[in-house]
Chains A and B, each alone.
Chain A
């Protein structure tokens, strides 16, 4: 009898695992499709129904990185000219019959995203850590109200402040500058950072600092040499979160950057027409943009719950 029950339990178990795996595969389908599209050669991209087996090509990745012109129809390169082309130029020529004229807009936008993401994250973490330490360790008048105020600024829908921010930036000449977006992202991330970091610092026993200060450390030394190393994991996790937020932000970047400081999210969706509906290149750009965030998510997975709830739920 017990044997049968166990067998039955085992069958349900395998069934559930099977369902979970099927769901996961279905779930990843759009993502797999984009990877697949990005590696398809130019000639098959528009094929329908899509071929499952094909010869992968990195042509799409080269196209998203370069600006090209089409050779006049009928004009063929001679053997000698072909030999002079570098490897990527040859791939482009063979696939789309185009000539590479210069590096495209993507590297610049990518660099902007990195500069703005890293700078705003660094400032956020510096401001956030000292502020969180202040709230965690000192008796501040109206502490709960202040903390709630800090949180509420984050909960504020951007649509409400976007108009005055736009006017303010225009007045100060901050539109389409790196510094403008860095300030903006710092302000939007710092509330998050304070909340999550305060949770991490609260977990460090206060006795450590007290002992250090009895030994003659100043408060700043205690903060730098006791608290920071102890909270390092928490600070790193928070930094990754802030970077992902800044990396992904769209609404403000779209509105406040045109060219010089434009980030990838504000640029990539509008390349469809420019690239002559080059779906392969759009897919390649998408992959290149999503990759950093995906890697960070995988590194961060243990702290994810804590991050997405602003430290309200700790696992």
Chain B
């Protein structure tokens, strides 16, 4: 996905530019960005790794140059041995599965429906993509009002009684899933539309002549061509859903009634109880899980592209 095939023409021109020897210009153009990224992203990443092997707390007043005690992998082994942590990872996995699954199905279905050419199609698509660029925490706040059991409209419109969607721990994970699906279905829809519009029309015409059924057209033409783009959507959504933080913060806040999602837990550990090193270790475990999941998807993606 991330490596574009090289255009021969550009390659040729680049060689001719190289002979002009503007290497100093290259540095001038590229280095500022690289330096900024190293300072703000790479340096903290390594710092975090070192912290995760120590017993530092940001509340301790350490002198500059005085290093916190290194305790090896104790933080990691404590996390892995903690059943509560496992519970949090499982809840997060459930969240990812439900929300991303829902988004993929609904988004692709919506894209198929909206394939139909009709007047006002552009307008409808624009209306549908609006939730996507809203701030997640504000979307959460908006839904908190909408869900409110006493005067919110959600229960009223669905004809439900006064169901508490926010502070009931057995339910509020699902209410966040609903909002996540609401917010990100347009993302999958938009990518699917882009994928569907790339299918050459003559394939369907040929299938029409062969009197292929709707289902076999879908299975043999539509799905294989859209598949890579659906995988891209899946990768993006999984990564985002796994580290979900702002949406639940807007809906439930991070109090005792909040669902046990891993990123929220990390904030509580690091900035409420100030176990900085322990939090860093959790962060690293999250990073490893995300990298593992996405590299599996990317493997599928590369296979699909061949």
Contact = CB atoms under 8 A, between A and B. Distances in A.
A31 B143 CA distance: 9
A308 interface: yes
A268 B37 CA distance: 30
A111 interface: no
A115 interface: no
Interface string A208-247: 0010000000010000000000000000000000001001
B141 A286 contact: yes
A269 B137 contact: yes
Contacts of A20: 113-114, 116, 124
A269 B284 contact: no
Contacts of B191: 305, 308-309, 313
Interface string B113-134: 1101010000011111111111
Contact of B48 (A17, A128, A148, A164): A164
A7 interface: no
A312 B1 contact: yes
B229 interface: yes
B279 interface: yes
Nearest to A131: B33
Contact of A297 (B40, B130, B182): B130
Nearest to B246: A250
Contacts of B153: 29, 33, 50
A190 B32 CA distance: 11
A228 to B, nearest CB: 14
Contacts of A210: 13
A290 interface: yes
A251 interface: yes
B40 A165 contact: yes
B296 to A, nearest CB: 15
Interface in A37-55: 37, 45-50
B276 A163 contact: yes
Interface residues of B, number: 99
A114 B18 CA distance: 42
A13 interface: yes
A158 B137 CA distance: 15
Most chain A CB inside 10 Å of its own CB: which residue of B126, B136, B141: B141
Contacts of B143: 30
A164 B45 CA distance: 8
Contacts of A308: 132, 187, 190-191, 236
A46 B232 CA distance: 44
A312 B116 contact: no
Given A157-B242, A313-B194, 6 more contacts: A21-B124, A27-B131, A161-B45, A163-B58, A294-B130, A308-B132
Interface of B: 1-3, 7, 10, 13-15, 17-18, 22, 25-26, 28-30, 32-34, 36-37, 39-45, 47-48, 51, 58, 110, 113-114, 116, 118, 124-138, 140-146, 148, 150-154, 156-157, 182, 187, 190-191, 193-194, 197, 229, 232, 236, 239, 242-243, 245-246, 249-250, 253, 263, 266-267, 270-271, 276, 279-280, 283-284, 286-287, 290, 294
Which 7 pairs between the two chains have the least Cβ-Cβ distance? A134-B29, A164-B44, A187-B40, A248-B135, A164-B47, A131-B33, A160-B283
